[in-house]
Chains A and B, each alone.
Chain A
């Protein structure tokens, strides 16, 4: 007789969690002050590490002098000569050194490292190092880089170049009634995660090293560490600590910081921790790429676009970091949400002697979308049409193609746009605000935006992400390399796994990423975690259930087809046989630990040609529309956002509460980018290098938000999810400019739109009029 196995009425326990506003798994720890960020973790015997930096944008290092009156035996000192492996930070390329050796290429470039037992001693040691640098003429702007008088990278200062072509732009221009031309510019933006960068390295007995820190991409660091330290993969372990925000800022930079901490720890033979203070973080870490984007658009009198010529340049800073991929995304988002029958887009990233720019939420798209959206307003203005009409005429519909050939699969662009116009009462307010008298003028502006979810092109195939499910006694552990950094990944991935396994949410345990336990499910970037990694998790759950089913089939001698599984229970033709954890326990007892790996499977219908930049660039597009209302004081040129209506299609919202949080937070960052967050450069140095002079939106700058989620599912994402994290940021910049234009009649072409820019636009206008 077949032995009876435990059956619990799990219907009571299991409930659907996908689409539900489940409370975040990390909320209680954080709200009670119990969450330990890297600088909060007590590490016995830990020393403090610090960095000696360049104070010139370009030069030759002639000498590094250590003050002989300082007792150097008490500390550890490292220059490029002491590095255990190649002096390279392996990222997309290997052009960035761990420590500058001969030439320095930007202000704040690391030259030497110090570790000391106390903070006071560290400070004294850093002071006792003098670096002598013979200055060379620097390249400080996009224009200087393109001019090529001084070559600082390759043969021509070009870090990367891509081109996309569709139809025949020159022929089509002949058909146009008018060709409209404008150049748009955007500045740096600082991620300003509230927790500064920080990393602890602990040497291991086996000669290896473990790094724990505030980071987004454990395996990026793992790769960079094995390369720079000349260590085999199993001797390097990367763990994530609770991370106080990333926004891309902890995507590429932590590789450099982790190597610094590790080099010091290996030399000091004890743990070393490097925690940046805000000032050091702001002067030395990556920012959003500044851009110069020139548009030439051939249009018919009724506003129909016939051809578009785009010349897009990003300032990559001194080294490549991620500029190649940022540029690609910029290029692929360059024509925004519009149908462009003939297009030519040339995109270049150039090197300058400024701190390297890197990942920041949006990853090249916000710059492109700002330029495209402004151009739509320029077309409207030139032809005397409304900005809404011009957009409606050219919107991408299902079945239309992007310039790179991919077909659009839904009508998200139109749906979010029309919905945002309707709920914001755009037309009524447009008419009302146009009548504003006196110095304070209100304006209403629109922006439309999109974001391709997941890596560009073949990126997901290259990463080929994997996840692990480990079945413990009464819970299932989920091991991934995708981190929780505030965006909600820990909760959302748990929801996906629980739903996939049909077990209670509380029984799935998301494990903090640790490369010694979690397989490489890829970095926490590119709005890929929910959509793409979620799908891999789901595949893992299917595999696990199948294994259990097979056991049930053997144990009860029932054919596989007759076994069904629902809500934690296996059934034979409707009769309950056994429950999930009982079977799992059996398997473990008989065969050892039960774990499965979920794999990435590339959707076979998607094809991408990397050389030609043609094909299916992304697995799905999320769409968004902003209608922003502002008030501009035309005496002081102070701008105040009043109300922001944001409608976004995010596919299935796995957790609507968290999704709203992402949209609200991203939208406000976008508004900051639009009018507040200024970084001016002076001689290769950021002038805005502390919170005292870099303003981000605070609660009083926050407009009244009306956010609506639209859910047009995408078959390639987990439960229909689309990539959502980055998209909202792209809407703010162009919406601010558009609303200011309506309020003032001025036409800003630059982000952020500061009072200074408005003053100079007004003066230009006055000059033209007089």
Chain B
């Protein structure tokens, strides 16, 4: 099958098998910043935004994406202009092995979009679907709070 996909603001004409998952479509076409940790909807390493909504791309059929805008971690900032969430993760020490990080950053993005001022409990709830085996979540939660402050300052 062939269809066009809007990925990080650019339209790509891509081929895929009828049952291909969005995760594979993305990874097979070079968007390897989307990680695969389980392929069964548990770890959140494959998180992307679909029209701003956080999804596990391993649980989404590529064929079902349609017109919706796909955003990966590379779509929210660049090395010259990192997103405040990315800055916050770096500054707070929220990155260790980094395998969960793209998903975590996007989960944070989705959270702050709908709730710019989350409490600790709300942060924990929002990140529940994104596993991190390295950090014990402490610095990640710190990073989300720092990011919330930064985003507000930028507004």
Interface residues of A (CB under 8 A from B): 21, 23-24, 26-37, 39-40, 42, 191-196, 242-245, 247, 277-278, 485-488, 657-658, 660-661, 664-669, 690-692, 696-700, 702, 705, 707
- What band does the interface of chain B fall in when counting residues whose beta carbon is under 8 Å from A? 35 or more
Could you say which of A24, A28, A36, A705 contacts B79, with CB atoms under 8 Å apart? A28
Q: Is B35's CB within 8 Å of the partner chain A? A: yes
Chain B residues near A486 (CB-CB < 8 A): 96-99, 134
Tell me the bound Cα distance from A21 to B74 in angstroms. 27
In the bound complex, how far is the Cα of B94 from the Cα of A657, in angstroms?
Answer: 10
Chain A interface main SS type: loop
Cβ < 8 Å to A, chain B residues 116-135: 123-125, 127-135
A-chain residues with CB within 8 Å of residue B95 when the two chains form the complex: 24, 26-27, 30-31
Q: Are A244 and B99 in contact (CB under 8 A)?
A: yes
Q: Determine if B97 and A699 form an interchain contact, defined as CB atoms under 8 angstroms apart.
A: no
Check if B32 sits within 8 Å of A40, measured CB to CB: yes
Contact B82 A664 (CB under 8 A): no
A32 with B86: CB separation less than 8 A: yes
* Chain B nearest Cβ from A683, distance in angstroms: 24
Partner of B43, one of A194, A242, A666: A194
> B91's contact among A23, A40, A196, A664, by CB below 8 Å, is which?
A23
Please state if B124 and A699 are interface contacts (CB–CB under 8 Å).
Answer: yes
Instruction: Kindly provide the distance from the CB of B103 to the nearest chain A CB, expressed in whole angstroms.
Output: 9
In the bound complex, do residue A195 and residue B33 qualify as a contact, i.e. CB atoms below 8 Å apart?
no
Query: Is the CB–CB distance between A194 and B100 below 8 Å?
Result: yes
Contact at A661–B97, with CB atoms within 8 Å? Answer: no
* Contact across chains for B40 and A26 when beta carbons are under 8 A apart: no
Asked whether B134 lies within 8 Å of A245 as measured between CB atoms, the reply is yes
Please give, as numbers and ranges, the residues of chain B lying within 8 Å of A195 by CB-CB distance.
35, 37, 97, 99
Q: A194-B43, A664-B138, A702-B136 are in contact. List 8 more A-B contacts (CB 8 A).
A: A24-B90, A27-B95, A31-B101, A194-B35, A194-B45, A485-B97, A668-B136, A698-B131
B73, B132, B137, B138: most-surrounded residue (chain A CB, <10 A): B138
In the complex, the answer to whether B128 meets A665 with C-beta atoms within 8 Å is no
**Residue contact A196 to B37, C-beta cutoff 8 Å:** yes
A36 CA / B72 CA spacing, docked (Å)? 15
B150 interface hit (Cβ, 8 Å): no
B77 touches A32 (CB 8 A): yes
Distance in Å: Cβ of B125 to nearest Cβ of chain A: 7
B105 at the binding interface (Cβ < 8 Å):
yes
Question: Which residues from chain B contact A196 at a C-beta distance below 8 Å?
Answer: 37
**Residues A36 and B32 in contact in the complex (CB < 8 Å), given A31-B89, A700-B125:** yes
- Contacts A245-B99, A661-B93 known; A194 to B86 CB distance under 8 Å? no
Q: Tell me how far the C-beta of A287 lies from the nearest C-beta in chain B, rounded to whole angstroms.
A: 14
Task: Say yes or no: B96 contacts A32, CB within 8 Å.
Answer: no
* A696 adjacent to B134 (CB under 8 Å): no
For the complex, is B39 an interface residue (Cβ under 8 Å from A)? Answer: yes
Cα distance A485–B98 in the bound complex, in angstroms: 9
- Minimum CB–CB distance from A550 to chain B (whole Å) comes to 41
A contact residues around B131 at 8 Å (CB): 194, 691, 696, 698
B128 touches A696 (CB 8 A): no
**With A34-B79, A702-B124 given, is the CB distance from A696 to B133 under 8 Å?**
yes
